[in-house]
Amino acid sequence: MATKRCAEYRFINNPEQAGLYRRSFRFYTENSLLISMFFYALVSAFFLGIFLIKYRIELLLSFPFFAVLFSWYLHIGLRKDSVVQGPEKLHRERKYMGFVVVFVCVLMALLYIDIPQLNWFLKQSFRYD
């Protein structure tokens, strides 16, 4: 959502007009929106990592795909007149949507494939005597 707000704010390109368009824009700057996007990405990556490990260790292999997904979305959001302003138009980004389809297939495969070697990460590695 912060990426959408940043794309809208950059599109308007006038703080006074932006404040009239959306009340919350009176308190934002482009930098504060970028910082909030960075913060939200870090927090979501942290909790995503915990979820992936707790739910199914094999899903941890999908983390680089999540990183690319987030980064690519940010790249799209920072373009001039970005489609992120209206997320319902995101399907126009064909390469991005192709990546999403491949990513979903990877996630589905990781849900059903067992990789016993990954259980090594779950074993206690420190001994407290």
Tell me if 127 is assigned to some domain.
no
Does residue 9 form part of some domain? yes
**What is the count of structural domains for the chain?**
1
Residue 96 lies in a domain: yes
Neighbours of 93 (CB within 10 A): 18
pLDDT of residue 14: 67
Q: Is the pTM of this model over 0.75?
A: no
Give Cα separations from 122 to 34, 57, 95 (angstroms): 35, 8, 36
Per-residue pLDDT of the chain (129 residues; tens, 9 = 90+): 777 776 776 777 767 776 767 777 777 777 778 888 889 888 999 999 888 888 888 999 999 999 999 899 888 888 888 787 777 888 889 999 999 999 999 999 999 999 988 888 777 655 555
Question: Which residue segment(s) compose the domain that 73 sits in?
Answer: 2-121
In a domain, 30, yes or no: yes
Q: Does the residue 88 lie in any domain?
A: yes
pLDDT of residue 91: 87
Q: Which of 34, 35, 55 is nearest to 63 (CA)?
A: 55
Q: What's the pLDDT at 35?
A: 86
Position 51 in a domain? yes
Radius of gyration of the chain (CA): 19
Can you tell me the distance from the alpha carbon of 99 to that of 112, in angstroms, rounded to the nearest whole number?
Answer: 20
Within-domain flag for 39: yes
Evaluate whether residue 129 is within a structural domain.
no
